Amino acid sequence: MRRPALLLGSALVALALAACQSKPTPQQSEQKAESAVCANLAAVGEALEAVGELGPSSTVGDAEQARDNLAKAVAKLQDSEAALEKLRVQELQKQVMAFNKAAKQVTAKKSTTLEEAANELQGKLEPVLAARQAAVADVNCDAAGGN
């Protein structure tokens, strides 16, 4: 009888710990995705070096292995780049939706002048522009291949 209570208690503690973990911010998620891109860029570089080291004494098996490693590294790079792009586009979409909501609120007041509306919306546009710039930004990897 004591064992089921211990298991139940352990499960409850694990559930409570999982609930307490905070969700990563969009910036943290993007940094993690950028790090993955950088690591995968480094892996492609290493795979290319291995292909370049093949010589007259290398076997067909060595060449096939080098080719397979390069193909896997490129596939991982493509996957990580797609994940990063998706994160960046999601953030842009979120900011555009917030701007559209603000624009609807401003335009709902029919007595608002265009100048007043523009002044109200100017500050709401900055996050959209920043998200757009981030969406098209290059990945910044340090010399070691990580971020």
Tens digits of residue pLDDT in 123-135: 899 999 999 998 8
What is the tens place of the pLDDT at every residue in 1-59?
A: 555 554 455 555 555 555 556 788 878 888 999 999 999 999 999 999 999 999 999 99
pTM value surpassing 0.75? no
Burial code (b: 16+ CB inside 10 Å, e: under 16) for 99-132 equals beeeeeebeeeeeeeeeeeeeeeeebeebbeebe
Domain ranges for the chain, please list them. Answer: 24-135
Contact 42, 146 (CB under 8 A): yes
